[in-house]
Amino acid sequence: MVRHIGIVACSAEGAALCYRTICAEAPPLMGKHVHPEITMHTFPLATYMEHVYRDDWDGVAELMLASAAKLKGCGAEFLISPDNTIHQAMPKVLKKSPLPWLHIAEEVATEAGRRGFKRLAITGTKYLMEGPVYPEALDRAGIEHRLPSPLDRGRIDKIIFDELVNGNFRSESLGFFRSIIDRMKAEGCDAVVLGCTEIPLLVTPENSPLPTLDSTRLLARAALLKALDKTG
């Protein structure tokens, strides 16, 4: 029996990439035009950001739980959220969730360990880069991490919210990301976490100075394997 995937979405571009990845990568495992049943629910990004701006992670958790309840009602059997930032609320969510979740940072940490990476550069929103989501997951996996400078974190955040979430991918912004990744490489990082689900639409393995850990696609692939009961 193939499990029904529930997607708790937040920003459209990242959620769409996650959904497309599941649908595109399922046929080699399941057959032509076949993928697991998938249901997605999302509140507007603005509604989430009202809480994030206030550092109100209880409010973020309540939105995630409201989506979880709707998805359970649609028949979903487990949940994912293709949004790194709101994973800061995950400890609160898990206490009340009606369904189990996969955790995006844990999937990234697992892949980093599998590929033998020792020190990761973290990119994402400023809330993600300055929050506990990746430090906690990477610490548990015994993997070091480094952050861009405060000034660079501010510009990365601005690019994400002014451009990437709106589907605007500019060559100038790619150049900036490449310069950041180059600096992190000089600090001894051996891979870069694309820790905002829209960043992989701009930064790719082909144009990155470091190997990439694409959080969006890694989560999607983990969800596909779980739906097929290939991960236990």
Write the pLDDT tens digit of every residue in 117-163: 999 999 999 999 999 999 999 999 999 999 999 999 999 999 999 99
Max CA distance (Å), the chain: 49
Domain boundaries, the chain: 5-103+217-227, 105-215
In this prediction, residue 231 has a pLDDT band, given cuts at 50, 70 and 90, of low
**Gap between the Cα atoms of 162 and 125, Å rounded:** 12
Q: How confident is the model at residue 216 (pLDDT cuts 50, 70, 90)?
A: very high
Q: What is the pLDDT of residue 131?
A: 97
**So what CATH class is 105-215?**
alpha beta
Closest alpha carbon to 165 in 199, 214, 212: 199
Q: Which of 3, 15, 40 lies closest to 217 in space, CA to CA?
A: 15
* Mean pLDDT to the nearest integer, 58-86: 98
Architecture of domain 5-103+217-227: 3-Layer(aba) Sandwich (3.40)
Place of tokens 């709101």: 86
